[in-house]
Amino acid sequence: MSKIVTLGEIMLRLSPMDKQRFVQADGFDVVYGGGEANVAVSLANYGHDAYFVSKLPKHEIGQAAVNSLRRFGVHTDFIVRGGERVGIYYLEHGASMRPSKVIYDRTDSAIALAEATEFDWDQIFKDAKWFHFSGITPAISKNGASITKAACIAAKKHGVMVSVDLNYRKKLWTPQEAQAVMRDLMQYVDVCIGNEEDAELTLGFKPGGDVTKGDLDHKGYEKIFAEMQKQFGFKYVATTLRESHSASDNGWSALIYDGKEFYYSKKYEIRIVDRVGGGDSFSGGLIHGLLTKKTQGEALEFAVAASALKHTIFGDYNLVDEKEVETLAKGDASGRVQR
Protein backbone atom coordinates (compact mmCIF):
# COMPACT_ATOMS: atom_id res chain seq x y z
CA MET A 1 0.00 0.00 0.00
CA SER A 2 0.96 3.67 -0.31
CA LYS A 3 2.19 6.47 1.90
CA ILE A 4 -0.56 9.11 1.93
CA VAL A 5 -0.36 12.49 3.63
CA THR A 6 -3.26 14.63 4.80
CA LEU A 7 -3.05 18.11 6.34
CA GLY A 8 -5.58 19.90 8.50
CA GLU A 9 -7.15 20.52 11.87
CA ILE A 10 -8.43 17.82 14.20
CA MET A 11 -11.02 19.07 16.69
CA LEU A 12 -12.83 18.02 19.81
CA ARG A 13 -16.47 17.34 18.95
CA LEU A 14 -19.14 17.73 21.62
CA SER A 15 -22.71 16.61 20.88
CA PRO A 16 -25.87 16.33 22.99
CA MET A 17 -26.93 12.73 23.51
CA ASP A 18 -29.96 11.05 21.92
CA LYS A 19 -30.53 13.80 19.35
CA GLN A 20 -31.30 16.36 22.05
CA ARG A 21 -31.12 20.07 21.30
CA PHE A 22 -28.27 22.13 22.74
CA VAL A 23 -30.63 23.80 25.23
CA GLN A 24 -31.73 20.40 26.57
CA ALA A 25 -28.27 18.94 27.08
CA ASP A 26 -26.72 18.36 30.49
CA GLY A 27 -23.95 16.20 29.04
CA PHE A 28 -22.10 15.69 25.75
CA ASP A 29 -20.73 12.78 23.77
CA VAL A 30 -17.02 13.33 23.09
CA VAL A 31 -15.27 12.32 19.88
CA TYR A 32 -12.46 13.77 17.77
CA GLY A 33 -12.51 14.52 14.08
CA GLY A 34 -11.93 16.93 11.25
CA GLY A 35 -11.96 16.74 7.46
CA GLU A 36 -8.46 15.57 6.65
CA ALA A 37 -8.08 13.57 9.87
CA ASN A 38 -11.21 11.65 8.88
CA VAL A 39 -9.71 10.90 5.46
CA ALA A 40 -6.51 9.63 7.09
CA VAL A 41 -8.46 7.22 9.31
CA SER A 42 -10.32 5.81 6.30
CA LEU A 43 -7.08 5.25 4.42
CA ALA A 44 -5.40 3.60 7.42
CA ASN A 45 -8.38 1.24 7.64
CA TYR A 46 -7.77 0.26 4.00
CA GLY A 47 -4.15 -0.63 4.79
CA HIS A 48 -2.30 2.48 3.65
CA ASP A 49 0.46 4.26 5.56
CA ALA A 50 -1.65 7.32 6.35
CA TYR A 51 0.06 10.35 7.88
CA PHE A 52 -1.85 13.28 9.38
CA VAL A 53 -0.03 16.64 9.55
CA SER A 54 -1.17 19.31 12.00
CA LYS A 55 -0.21 21.17 15.16
CA LEU A 56 -1.65 20.34 18.58
CA PRO A 57 -0.94 21.52 22.12
CA LYS A 58 1.25 19.44 24.43
CA HIS A 59 -1.45 19.24 27.11
CA GLU A 60 -3.78 16.30 27.74
CA ILE A 61 -6.54 17.35 25.34
CA GLY A 62 -4.00 17.69 22.56
CA GLN A 63 -2.68 14.26 23.44
CA ALA A 64 -6.19 12.80 23.43
CA ALA A 65 -6.62 14.06 19.87
CA VAL A 66 -3.32 12.44 18.86
CA ASN A 67 -4.34 9.21 20.58
CA SER A 68 -7.64 9.10 18.70
CA LEU A 69 -5.69 8.94 15.44
CA ARG A 70 -3.14 6.41 16.68
CA ARG A 71 -5.97 4.17 17.84
CA PHE A 72 -6.97 3.61 14.22
CA GLY A 73 -3.48 3.28 12.76
CA VAL A 74 -2.82 6.82 11.54
CA HIS A 75 0.82 7.91 11.75
CA THR A 76 1.26 11.06 13.85
CA ASP A 77 5.03 11.55 13.41
CA PHE A 78 4.59 14.90 11.68
CA ILE A 79 2.15 16.50 14.11
CA VAL A 80 3.97 19.51 15.60
CA ARG A 81 3.33 19.97 19.33
CA GLY A 82 2.73 23.44 20.74
CA GLY A 83 0.17 26.21 20.95
CA GLU A 84 -2.56 26.74 23.53
CA ARG A 85 -5.76 25.14 22.36
CA VAL A 86 -7.51 22.40 20.41
CA GLY A 87 -10.36 23.61 18.22
CA ILE A 88 -13.84 22.62 19.38
CA TYR A 89 -17.09 22.20 17.54
CA TYR A 90 -20.52 21.53 18.95
CA LEU A 91 -22.84 19.33 16.90
CA GLU A 92 -26.59 19.12 17.38
CA HIS A 93 -27.87 16.08 15.47
CA GLY A 94 -30.92 16.71 13.32
CA ALA A 95 -33.86 14.39 12.88
CA SER A 96 -36.63 14.17 10.28
CA MET A 97 -37.26 17.73 9.04
CA ARG A 98 -35.04 19.36 11.73
CA PRO A 99 -31.52 19.90 10.32
CA SER A 100 -28.28 19.31 12.17
CA LYS A 101 -26.50 22.38 13.52
CA VAL A 102 -22.81 23.15 14.11
CA ILE A 103 -21.29 25.82 16.36
CA TYR A 104 -17.54 26.40 16.04
CA ASP A 105 -15.17 27.38 18.85
CA ARG A 106 -11.86 27.14 17.03
CA THR A 107 -10.41 30.67 16.89
CA ASP A 108 -6.66 30.74 17.64
CA SER A 109 -6.30 26.98 17.73
CA ALA A 110 -2.77 25.61 17.52
CA ILE A 111 -2.89 24.88 13.79
CA ALA A 112 -4.57 28.22 13.00
CA LEU A 113 -1.60 30.05 14.52
CA ALA A 114 1.10 27.68 13.20
CA GLU A 115 3.75 28.76 10.68
CA ALA A 116 4.66 26.88 7.51
CA THR A 117 8.32 26.86 8.61
CA GLU A 118 7.46 24.60 11.58
CA PHE A 119 6.96 21.62 9.25
CA ASP A 120 9.70 19.54 7.60
CA TRP A 121 8.04 19.26 4.20
CA ASP A 122 10.82 17.23 2.59
CA GLN A 123 10.51 14.54 5.26
CA ILE A 124 6.74 14.69 5.20
CA PHE A 125 6.55 14.03 1.45
CA LYS A 126 9.52 11.67 1.14
CA ASP A 127 8.27 8.52 -0.68
CA ALA A 128 4.66 9.76 -0.52
CA LYS A 129 2.23 8.85 -3.32
CA TRP A 130 -0.66 11.14 -2.47
CA PHE A 131 -1.46 14.37 -0.62
CA HIS A 132 -4.97 15.43 0.39
CA PHE A 133 -6.24 18.70 1.82
CA SER A 134 -9.58 20.47 2.03
CA GLY A 135 -10.96 23.98 1.77
CA ILE A 136 -11.39 24.06 5.53
CA THR A 137 -7.68 24.34 6.37
CA PRO A 138 -6.97 27.50 4.36
CA ALA A 139 -10.25 28.96 5.70
CA ILE A 140 -9.33 28.79 9.38
CA SER A 141 -6.72 31.57 9.16
CA LYS A 142 -4.22 33.31 6.89
CA ASN A 143 -1.60 31.04 8.45
CA GLY A 144 -3.70 28.04 7.50
CA ALA A 145 -3.80 29.24 3.90
CA SER A 146 -0.02 29.75 3.87
CA ILE A 147 0.62 26.30 5.33
CA THR A 148 -1.68 24.70 2.76
CA LYS A 149 0.09 26.39 -0.14
CA ALA A 150 3.53 25.45 1.21
CA ALA A 151 2.37 21.83 1.47
CA CYS A 152 1.03 21.84 -2.10
CA ILE A 153 4.29 23.26 -3.45
CA ALA A 154 6.32 20.65 -1.56
CA ALA A 155 4.04 17.84 -2.70
CA LYS A 156 4.52 18.80 -6.34
CA LYS A 157 8.28 19.09 -5.79
CA HIS A 158 8.23 15.44 -4.72
CA GLY A 159 6.01 14.30 -7.61
CA VAL A 160 3.01 13.55 -5.36
CA MET A 161 -0.58 13.35 -6.60
CA VAL A 162 -2.71 16.05 -4.95
CA SER A 163 -6.42 15.94 -4.19
CA VAL A 164 -8.71 18.54 -2.65
CA ASP A 165 -12.15 18.41 -1.13
CA LEU A 166 -13.40 21.96 -1.73
CA ASN A 167 -15.48 21.91 1.50
CA TYR A 168 -16.81 25.48 1.73
CA ARG A 169 -17.71 26.58 5.27
CA LYS A 170 -19.70 29.82 5.39
CA LYS A 171 -18.95 30.31 9.09
CA LEU A 172 -15.22 30.53 8.28
CA TRP A 173 -15.06 32.82 5.24
CA THR A 174 -16.99 34.50 2.43
CA PRO A 175 -17.22 33.26 -1.17
CA GLN A 176 -14.98 36.13 -2.24
CA GLU A 177 -12.33 35.21 0.32
CA ALA A 178 -12.61 31.54 -0.58
CA GLN A 179 -12.24 32.08 -4.31
CA ALA A 180 -9.21 34.36 -3.85
CA VAL A 181 -7.38 31.54 -2.05
CA MET A 182 -8.82 28.35 -3.52
CA ARG A 183 -8.61 29.24 -7.20
CA ASP A 184 -4.88 29.87 -6.73
CA LEU A 185 -4.39 26.50 -5.03
CA MET A 186 -6.05 24.63 -7.92
CA GLN A 187 -2.83 24.88 -9.96
CA TYR A 188 -1.41 22.12 -7.74
CA VAL A 189 -4.48 19.85 -7.75
CA ASP A 190 -4.88 16.62 -9.77
CA VAL A 191 -8.16 15.39 -8.28
CA CYS A 192 -10.90 17.86 -7.34
CA ILE A 193 -13.76 16.71 -5.11
CA GLY A 194 -16.69 18.94 -4.27
CA ASN A 195 -20.45 19.11 -4.20
CA GLU A 196 -22.63 21.64 -6.00
CA GLU A 197 -22.36 24.31 -3.29
CA ASP A 198 -18.60 23.93 -2.94
CA ALA A 199 -18.00 24.31 -6.69
CA GLU A 200 -20.05 27.49 -6.80
CA LEU A 201 -18.79 29.20 -3.66
CA THR A 202 -15.09 28.30 -3.78
CA LEU A 203 -14.47 28.26 -7.54
CA GLY A 204 -17.40 30.17 -9.03
CA PHE A 205 -19.01 27.29 -10.95
CA LYS A 206 -22.76 26.76 -10.62
CA PRO A 207 -24.64 23.56 -11.62
CA GLY A 208 -28.34 23.47 -12.35
CA GLY A 209 -31.10 22.14 -10.09
CA ASP A 210 -32.30 22.77 -6.56
CA VAL A 211 -30.55 20.22 -4.37
CA THR A 212 -32.39 21.36 -1.22
CA LYS A 213 -35.46 19.73 -2.76
CA GLY A 214 -33.60 16.65 -3.91
CA ASP A 215 -33.58 17.85 -7.52
CA LEU A 216 -30.22 17.01 -9.09
CA ASP A 217 -29.56 18.16 -12.65
CA HIS A 218 -26.97 15.67 -13.87
CA LYS A 219 -26.47 17.44 -17.19
CA GLY A 220 -25.70 20.63 -15.25
CA TYR A 221 -22.92 18.81 -13.44
CA GLU A 222 -21.47 17.48 -16.66
CA LYS A 223 -21.24 20.98 -18.11
CA ILE A 224 -19.65 22.42 -14.96
CA PHE A 225 -17.19 19.52 -14.59
CA ALA A 226 -16.06 19.90 -18.19
CA GLU A 227 -15.49 23.64 -17.62
CA MET A 228 -13.59 23.01 -14.38
CA GLN A 229 -11.40 20.36 -16.00
CA LYS A 230 -10.65 22.63 -18.94
CA GLN A 231 -9.82 25.66 -16.79
CA PHE A 232 -7.72 23.98 -14.09
CA GLY A 233 -6.41 20.86 -15.84
CA PHE A 234 -7.70 18.38 -13.25
CA LYS A 235 -7.13 14.70 -14.01
CA TYR A 236 -10.39 13.86 -12.25
CA VAL A 237 -13.36 15.84 -10.99
CA ALA A 238 -15.78 14.09 -8.65
CA THR A 239 -18.77 14.91 -6.49
CA THR A 240 -21.21 13.22 -4.20
CA LEU A 241 -24.87 13.65 -5.13
CA ARG A 242 -26.94 13.97 -1.97
CA GLU A 243 -30.72 13.99 -2.24
CA SER A 244 -31.91 15.37 1.08
CA HIS A 245 -35.33 13.89 1.65
CA SER A 246 -34.94 14.85 5.32
CA ALA A 247 -32.24 15.02 8.00
CA SER A 248 -32.83 11.29 8.58
CA ASP A 249 -33.14 9.95 5.03
CA ASN A 250 -30.95 10.77 2.04
CA GLY A 251 -30.36 9.46 -1.44
CA TRP A 252 -26.62 9.04 -2.01
CA SER A 253 -24.67 8.60 -5.24
CA ALA A 254 -21.73 10.20 -7.04
CA LEU A 255 -20.27 11.33 -10.34
CA ILE A 256 -16.71 11.33 -11.69
CA TYR A 257 -15.17 12.79 -14.86
CA ASP A 258 -11.71 12.06 -16.25
CA GLY A 259 -11.77 14.54 -19.11
CA LYS A 260 -13.19 11.91 -21.48
CA GLU A 261 -16.12 10.13 -19.87
CA PHE A 262 -18.67 10.82 -17.16
CA TYR A 263 -19.47 7.94 -14.81
CA TYR A 264 -22.45 7.85 -12.44
CA SER A 265 -22.47 5.45 -9.52
CA LYS A 266 -25.36 3.40 -8.26
CA LYS A 267 -27.59 5.18 -5.74
CA TYR A 268 -28.12 4.20 -2.10
CA GLU A 269 -31.08 5.17 0.06
CA ILE A 270 -29.61 5.84 3.51
CA ARG A 271 -31.17 5.99 6.97
CA ILE A 272 -28.69 8.28 8.71
CA VAL A 273 -27.03 7.62 12.07
CA ASP A 274 -24.41 10.39 11.71
CA ARG A 275 -23.79 12.27 8.47
CA VAL A 276 -20.73 14.22 9.66
CA GLY A 277 -17.70 12.89 7.83
CA GLY A 278 -19.74 11.50 4.95
CA GLY A 279 -17.89 13.58 2.39
CA ASP A 280 -14.54 12.79 4.00
CA SER A 281 -15.25 9.07 3.81
CA PHE A 282 -16.02 9.53 0.12
CA SER A 283 -12.66 11.28 -0.38
CA GLY A 284 -10.83 8.50 1.44
CA GLY A 285 -12.63 5.86 -0.59
CA LEU A 286 -11.94 7.63 -3.85
CA ILE A 287 -8.23 8.03 -3.11
CA HIS A 288 -8.00 4.33 -2.30
CA GLY A 289 -10.01 3.46 -5.38
CA LEU A 290 -7.92 5.55 -7.76
CA LEU A 291 -4.75 4.02 -6.32
CA THR A 292 -5.93 0.40 -6.48
CA LYS A 293 -8.73 -0.02 -9.05
CA LYS A 294 -8.42 -0.40 -12.80
CA THR A 295 -11.10 2.09 -13.84
CA GLN A 296 -12.58 5.34 -12.57
CA GLY A 297 -15.94 3.60 -12.36
CA GLU A 298 -14.64 0.95 -9.97
CA ALA A 299 -12.92 3.64 -7.92
CA LEU A 300 -16.13 5.66 -7.67
CA GLU A 301 -18.29 2.68 -6.71
CA PHE A 302 -15.87 1.90 -3.87
CA ALA A 303 -15.99 5.53 -2.68
CA VAL A 304 -19.79 5.70 -2.75
CA ALA A 305 -20.18 2.41 -0.90
CA ALA A 306 -17.64 3.50 1.71
CA SER A 307 -19.40 6.80 2.32
CA ALA A 308 -22.84 5.16 2.41
CA LEU A 309 -21.56 2.93 5.21
CA LYS A 310 -20.11 5.94 7.07
CA HIS A 311 -23.61 7.41 7.44
CA THR A 312 -24.45 4.40 9.63
CA ILE A 313 -21.57 5.01 12.09
CA PHE A 314 -21.55 7.48 14.99
CA GLY A 315 -18.65 9.91 15.10
CA ASP A 316 -16.51 11.61 12.45
CA TYR A 317 -14.44 8.57 11.51
CA ASN A 318 -15.46 5.89 8.99
CA LEU A 319 -14.64 2.67 10.81
CA VAL A 320 -15.02 0.12 8.02
CA ASP A 321 -12.42 -1.99 6.25
CA GLU A 322 -11.90 -2.72 2.58
CA LYS A 323 -13.77 -6.03 2.65
CA GLU A 324 -16.90 -4.46 4.15
CA VAL A 325 -16.91 -1.78 1.48
CA GLU A 326 -16.39 -4.29 -1.32
CA THR A 327 -19.30 -6.38 -0.03
CA LEU A 328 -21.67 -3.42 -0.28
CA ALA A 329 -20.23 -2.23 -3.60
CA LYS A 330 -20.92 -5.67 -5.06
CA GLY A 331 -24.58 -5.41 -4.14
CA ASP A 332 -25.05 -6.91 -0.66
CA ALA A 333 -27.01 -4.25 1.21
CA SER A 334 -29.08 -6.71 3.22
CA GLY A 335 -27.60 -5.77 6.60
CA ARG A 336 -27.92 -9.39 7.72
CA VAL A 337 -26.01 -10.50 10.80
CA GLN A 338 -22.53 -11.75 9.89
CA ARG A 339 -21.80 -14.99 11.77
The active-site residue out of 190, 274, 280, 316 is 280
Which amino acid would we find at residue 79?
I
> What are the DSSP calls for 190-243, one per residue?
SEEE--HHHIIIII----SS-GGGT---HHHHHHHHHHHHHHH--SEEEEEEEE
Catalytic residue status for 120: no
Strand 249-257 relative to strand 268-271, pairing: antiparallel
> Phi, psi at residue 26, to the nearest 5°?
-120, 15
**Chain center to CA of 249:** 21
Spatial CB neighbours of 172, under 8 Å, sequence gap ≥ 6? 104, 136, 139, 140
User: Which residues are catalytic, by number?
Assistant: 280
